[in-house]
Structure formats: structure tokens, C-alpha cells
């Protein structure tokens, strides 16, 4: 196993504190590094850094390592870690905070469709107020791996023949009430 040494000068100590200020992340600094989060996580074996390591990196301010990890995107938000944590840290909310910063700074692991799904989902819902499942999957596939559409054909066919794949575009009626539109019109 290769060992990576971390140097204090590469850390941004105040960054960890900034993460800890976000809603749901306030217990971050009470982490005792017990590893319960990694133990309960159903996807930790697929992660490049275990959830426990992410918690340690964030606390010390190793921003780039934390944000560039696949770990934060593999988190499926099942909240197992959050309810199991003996220190009552909502690890899931810390993962969300990291995902948001990675997306806004464009620090994304290569060849991973999960952040693309987040982008496309938000862009669709912020405009129409609803998610049209068929169009969402199509847009994500076209941006990441169009050939994946072939492997999806059997699933799509089974959905269609059982009447479970509407092809229309869903939207709410009063779109002006959506957060993006209301803010533009309002006083803020």
C-alpha cells in the first residue's frame, strides 16, 4: 500500500470551519474518527477515500483532496452513517456541502456521470418545476456516454410496454412561483 504524507502548509485550516458553518454540518469538529460511518456505508468499498477519511481531511482543511474525491459523489444519501454516528454528526449533510462546492468550483472527477445528473436535474427542475424522467436520462447519457443508451434499451422497452415511461415533458402551471423566477422579481 502506498503511503501519502500530508503537509500542514497544503491545508487551509479556515476552510474546514466554513464547511462546519453550513446547515447540518455543525457537529463536524466533534468527530472522534471511530470509523462507524465507513462501517455502515453500503458503498464505502467503491470509494477512493472512506467517509471517515473525508471527515478527517475536511476538518484539517485539505480542501482539494476532499473535493476531488469520488467518495462525495458515491454517497447515495441513505443516511446510514448519520443515524449511526455516536457523535451525532450528519455525515450525509457534510457530503452534500462538499458536492455543492465541488460542483460550483468545477472540481469534478473524470468519467463520473453522477455530478452531471445533478446538474441536468437542477437545470430541468429550476425551469419547469418538475422532473421528466425520460428526458433527464437522455440528457445525462448524451453528455456522458451516448453508447450507454444501447445498454439501457432493454430497461426502456420493459418500461414502455408496461406503460411506465411517459415521453411528455412535465411542467407546473404557475412557473413564476418557482424559486429562480420569484427571486428575480422580488425584493432580494
The residues near 93 (Cβ < 8 Å, ≥ 6 apart) are 22, 23, 24, 25, 82
Q: Which three cell numbers stand for residue 60?
A: 484539517
* Options 17, 33, 158, 169; binder of another protein; rule CB under 8 A: 158
Q: First vs last Cα of the chain: how many Å apart?
A: 53
- 34 binds another protein per the rule CB under 8 A: no
Q: Are 48 and 69 in contact (CB under 8 A)?
A: yes
Q: How far is the CB of 55 from another protein (least distance, A)?
A: 17
Q: Is 13 in the site for another protein (CB under 8 A)?
A: no
CB of 5 to another protein, least distance (A): 30
> Does residue 146 belong to the site contacting another protein (CB under 8 A)?
no
Three-state SS sequence of 40-72: HCCCHHHCCCCHHHHHHHHHHCCHHHHHCCCHH
89 and 97 Cβ atoms separated by less than 8 Å:
no
Instruction: Give 11 or 97: the residue with its C-beta nearer to another protein.
Output: 97
Least CB distance to another protein at residue 151 (A): 8
Map grid coordinates 408496461 to a residue: 162
- What is the C-alpha separation between 154 and 139, in angstroms, rounded? 18
* 99 binds another protein per the rule CB under 8 A: yes
CA distance 130 to 172: 7
Using the rule CB under 8 A, is 121 a contact of another protein? Answer: yes
80 sits near another protein (criterion: CB under 8 A) = yes
**By the criterion CB under 8 A, which residues form the site for another protein?**
22-24, 42-43, 46, 74, 76-80, 82-83, 90, 96-97, 99-100, 103, 112-119, 121-122, 125-126, 129-134, 137, 140, 148, 151-152, 154-155, 158-159, 162-166, 170, 172-174, 176-180, 182-183, 185-188
Amino acid at each position: 500500500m502506498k503511503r501519502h504524507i500530508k503537509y500542514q502548509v497544503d491545508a487551509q485550516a479556515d476552510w474546514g470551519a466554513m464547511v462546519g458553518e453550513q446547515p447540518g454540518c455543525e457537529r463536524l469538529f466533534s468527530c472522534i474518527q471511530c470509523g462507524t460511518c465507513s462501517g455502515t456505508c453500503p458503498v464505502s468499498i467503491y470509494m477512493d477515500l472512506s467517509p471517515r477519511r473525508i471527515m478527517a481531511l475536511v476538518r484539517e482543511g485539505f480542501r482539494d483532496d476532499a473535493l476531488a474525491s469520488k467518495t462525495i459523489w458515491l454517497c447515495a444519501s441513505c443516511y446510514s452513517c448519520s443515524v449511526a454516528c455516536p457523535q451525532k454528526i450528519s455525515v450525509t449533510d457534510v457530503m452534500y456541502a462538499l458536492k455543492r462546492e465541488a460542483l460550483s468550483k468545477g472540481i469534478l472527477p473524470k468519467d463520473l456521470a453522477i455530478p452531471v445528473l445533478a446538474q441536468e436535474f437542477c437545470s430541468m427542475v429550476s425551469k419547469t418545476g418538475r422532473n421528466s424522467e425520460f428526458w433527464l436520462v437522455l440528457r445525462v447519457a448524451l453528455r456522458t456516454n451516448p453508447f450507454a443508451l444501447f445498454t439501457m434499451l432493454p430497461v426502456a422497452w420493459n418500461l414502455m410496454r408496461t406503460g411506465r415511461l411517459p415521453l411528455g415533458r412535465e411542467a407546473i402551471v404557475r412557473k413564476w412561483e418557482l424559486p429562480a423566477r420569484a427571486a428575480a422579481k422580488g425584493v432580494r
